[in-house]
Each structure stands twice: as structure tokens, then as C-alpha cells.
């Protein structure tokens, strides 16, 4: 990564990074594409820190961003210090993964907030991405930012009806109450051996294997976590009848991101042809 300060912006040159692939691949739901004169521009947040970021030619523009915020917040959030070229090279020993890396090699795993990621993927269950974004958008609009567990714990099913989250509202309440009352500590869970962390997360109502795995991968940067949803299930059935390659286990979560994007693109193209 190379960067310079220019006016109030930070200009960044970064390999293995594509804004559309990273911010619109179903790992984070609070980034909004806005129309500008750049190649593409997104507005979004990490916690309560806003950011407008553009892609333009061979570089990226962090608008109205201080060097301090760039280094302290965004380098970590966008995982700029991880060598994805090296990871992709390793994963590409497998044919299908090689194709997926080539197709979606600009995805970086965002280091999101633990609580927000947990809530986001509780909301994601049996739901589609546009609607997940809608629910989270209503949530953040209502609280003028992503609500804390303590704030949400004060609500009840009726007071959350504005979310139109359906049966998932009671799950959000259970998660927030048990964190607010100290029964669960996401910081502690993040540091546990992964099977203990899975078990702790799944003690929350509405958190099963898939949501727990997503909370670990997207909120706690446990890149060995491997969420299996309907799409990845199709990948495993179609391409890995004898099991997922063991050499990829260390980076299974990143491999999963590439595969998720890849299989969805194949599905879309066949749907269009049909």
C-alpha cells in the first residue's frame, strides 16, 4: 500500500482491492453507492465513523479523511496490511478456487464491528440482501447510528415494529439483552478457541451455525470460519463432493468470500440466458 495526502483527502494505491466487489458482496450492509464523476463512490460507516470513498483509475480516494483517521481506522477496516496476493496464490492451487480468485480477486475481508456484524447476520437469515439493507438502514436511521446493545435492550417487539424485521426482531432483543446484562461479552468470545466461540454465540436465540460463523468471520476476523449458506452449499455439492481442500482451511473464510461471489455470478448469468 502506498498513500499520499492531498487537500483534505488521502489517495491510496492498493493491490487486490476492488470497491464494488468489497462493499457490495454481502459482507457489509451499510455501504451505499452514490453517483459521482469517479469510477464508483460509496458512503458508509465503521461504527460511527463516516467515510466517502471513491475508486478512480489505479487509485482510491478517501474523501475528507485525516492521515490519523486513515491510519488508525481505515487501514485496519479495509484490511490493507494483509497480503491478499499471497493468499490467492495459495488458494489457487485448487481449480475452482483459482477461477473464483480470478473472478472476484478484489474482495477484501472487512474488519467490521463485532456487535454490528452479529446483528446484521441475525437479520440476514432467510432474507435477501436488499431487504437486509433496508432493515439495517431503518435501524440506523431510527437511532442516528447503529444502536448499542444497551439501547436495543430497552426495546420490545412492539417498539421494534418499525424495523419490519419479522420474526428476527425477537432474536435481536435476545442478543442485545444478554450482552447488555453482561451474560455475554463479544470481546471475550472473539478471543476464545473457535469451537468455544461458536458455542457461546449459538447460545443466543436466532443464532445457529451459519450466523455464528458469519459473526466470527465478519465481526471478529476469524478467517478460518467458513459460513455455509445456500450458495456455498451448492458450491460444495457441485465442486467439492470429496470435501473442501485441507490446505485452504487456514483461509477458509476468505476462500468462501471468493466462492460466494463466483457462484452467484454463474447463477445470474444462467438465469439471464434462460
Position of cell 417498539? 159
Residue 127 is a binding residue for DNA (CB under 7 A): yes
Rule CB under 7 A: is residue 269 a binding residue for DNA?
no
Distance CA 91, CA 169 (A): 38
Closest distance of CB 129 from DNA, Å:
4
Place of cell 478484489: 106
CB closer to DNA out of 34 and 129: 129
In the DSSP assignment, the letter for residue 110 is: -
Residue nearer to DNA on the CB measure, 13 or 162:
162
Build a one-symbol-per-residue string for 131-170: x at contacts with DNA by CB under 7 A, - elsewhere: x--x--------------------------x--xxxx---
Sheet with strand 59-63: strands edge to edge: 2-6, 9-13, 59-63, 49-56, 40-46, 32-34
Phi, psi of 52 (to 5 degrees): -115, 125
Site for DNA in 200-259 (CB under 7 A): 202, 204-212, 214, 227, 229-232, 256-257
CB of 153 to DNA, least distance (A): 18
Q: C-beta of 49: minimal distance to DNA in Å?
A: 22
Q: CB 260 → DNA: shortest distance, Å?
A: 4
Query: Contact, 223 vs 248, CB < 8 A?
Result: no
Pick the closest to residue 150 from 181, 118, 187, 186 (CA basis).
181
N-to-C CA span, the chain: 43
Instruction: Report the SS3 class of residue 53.
Output: strand
CA angle at 227 for the pair 224 and 229, rounded to the nearest 5°: 160
Residues 66-105 that bind DNA (CB under 7 A): none
Question: Of 46, 115, 260, 262, which one interacts with DNA (CB under 7 A)?
Answer: 260
CB closer to DNA out of 1 and 129: 129
The residues that touch DNA, with contacts defined as CB under 7 A, are 25-27, 121, 124-131, 134, 161, 164-167, 202, 204-212, 214, 227, 229-232, 256-257, 260
Amino acid at each position: 500500500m502506498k498513500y499520499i495526502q492531498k487537500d483534505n483527502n488521502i489517495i491510496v494505491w492498493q493491490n487486490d482491492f476492488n470497491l464494488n466487489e468489497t462493499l457490495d458482496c454481502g459482507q457489509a450492509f451499510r455501504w451505499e453507492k452514490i453517483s459521482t464523476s469517479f469510477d464508483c463512490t460509496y458512503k458508509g460507516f465503521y461504527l460511527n465513523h463516516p467515510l466517502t470513498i471513491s475508486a478512480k483509475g489505479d487509485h482510491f480516494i478517501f474523501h475528507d479523511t485525516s492521515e490519523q483517521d486513515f491510519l488508525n481506522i481505515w487501514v485496519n477496516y479495509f484490511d490493507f496490511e494483509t497480503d491478499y496476493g499471497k493468499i490467492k496464490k495459495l488458494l489457487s492451487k485448487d481449480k475452482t478456487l483459482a477461477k473464483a480468485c480470478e473472478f472476484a480477486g478484489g474482495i477484501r475481508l472487512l474488519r467490521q464491528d463485532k456487535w454490528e456484524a452479529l446483528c446484521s447476520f441475525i437479520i440476514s437469515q432467510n432474507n435477501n440482501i436488499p431487504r437486509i439493507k433496508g432493515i439495517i438502514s431503518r435501524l440506523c436511521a431510527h437511532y442516528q447510528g447503529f444502536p448499542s446493545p444497551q439501547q436495543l435492550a430497552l426495546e420490545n417487539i412492539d417498539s421494534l415494529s418499525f424495523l419490519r424485521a419479522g420474526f428476527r426482531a425477537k432474536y435481536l432483543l435476545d442478543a442485545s439483552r444478554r450482552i447488555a446484562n453482561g451474560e455475554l461479552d463479544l470481546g471475550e468470545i472473539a478471543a476464545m478457541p473457535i469451537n468455544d466461540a461458536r458455542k457461546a454465540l449459538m447460545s443466543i436465540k436466532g443464532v445457529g451455525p451459519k450466523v455464528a460463523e458469519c459473526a466470527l468471520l465478519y465481526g471478529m476476523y476469524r478467517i478460518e470460519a467458513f459460513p455455509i449458506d445456500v450458495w456455498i452449499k451448492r458450491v460444495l455439492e457441485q465442486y467439492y463432493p470429496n470435501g473442501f481442500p485441507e490446505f485452504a482451511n487456514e483461509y477458509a473464510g476468505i476462500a468462501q468470500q471468493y466462492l460466494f461471489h463466483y457462484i452467484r455470478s454463474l447463477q445470474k448469468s444462467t438465469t439471464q440466458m434462460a
